[in-house]
Amino acid sequence: MIEGTRLEGRHIALLAADGFEKVELEVPLKALRLAGATVDIISLRLGRIRGVNMHEPAGKVQVTMTVQEADPKNYDGIFIPGGFINPDLLRQSAEAREFVHAFQVSGKPIATICHGPWVLASAGMLRGRTITSWPGIRDDMVNAGATWLDQAVVWDGNIITSRGPQDLMEFVPAIVEAFSGAAPLAEQAPAPMVSAPQRNEPPQAMLTAMKWMPTPAVRTALGIGAIALGAMAMRRRHAPPRQARM
pLDDT band at 179 (very low <50, low <70, confident <90, very high): very high
Between CA 216 and CA 228 the distance in angstroms is 18
What pLDDT shows up at residue 193? Answer: 78
Q: What is the pLDDT of residues 89-100, one digit of tens each?
A: 999 999 999 999
What pLDDT shows up at residue 215? Answer: 63
Mean predicted confidence (pLDDT) in 20-39: 97
Sequence-distant (6+) residues with CB within 8 A of 81 are 14, 16, 20, 21, 24, 25, 28, 112, 113, 114, 116
Active-site position among 11, 55, 101, 115? 115
**147-148 and 153-156 strand pairing:** unpaired
Domain 11-188: assigned CATH number: 3.40.50.880
Q: Is 115 a catalytic residue?
A: yes
What pLDDT shows up at residue 115? Answer: 97
Mean predicted confidence (pLDDT) in 36-55: 94
Q: What angle, 0 to 180 degrees and rounded to 10, lies between the N-to-C axes of helices 168-180 and 22-34?
A: 40
pLDDT band at 34 (very low <50, low <70, confident <90, very high): very high
Q: How far is CA 39 from the centre of its chain?
A: 14
What pLDDT shows up at residue 237? Answer: 59
**159-162 and 153-156 strand pairing:** antiparallel
Q: What is the pLDDT of residues 156-168, one digit of tens each?
A: 999 999 999 999 9
Residue 87 exposed, middle or buried by CB count within 10 Å (0-12, 13-18, 19+): buried
Lowest-pLDDT range of 53-62, 90-99, 187-196, 212-221: 212-221
> Residue 207 corresponds to which amino acid?
L
What pLDDT shows up at residue 202? Answer: 78
Q: Is the pLDDT of residue 42 over 50?
A: yes
Q: Cα torsion at 19, 24, 27, 30 (round to 10°)? A: -60
Q: Is the pLDDT of residue 246 over 50?
A: no
Lowest-pLDDT range of 78-82, 110-114, 229-233: 229-233
Region class of 181: left (phi > 0), else alpha (psi between -120 and 50), else beta? left
Q: What percent of the chain has pLDDT over 90?
A: 69
> Which letter does DSSP use for residue 92 in this model?
T
> Which letter does DSSP use for residue 11 in this model?
E
- Selection from 167, 132, 159 nearest residue 148 by Cα: 132
What pLDDT shows up at residue 232? Answer: 61
The model carries a pTM of: 0.82
Give domain limits for the chain.
11-188, 204-238
Mean predicted confidence (pLDDT) in 98-124: 98
Inter-residue contact 64 to 12 (CB < 8 Å) = no
Q: What percent of the chain has pLDDT over 70?
A: 78
Mean pLDDT of the chain: 87
- Selection from 127, 181, 180, 174 nearest residue 154 by Cα: 174
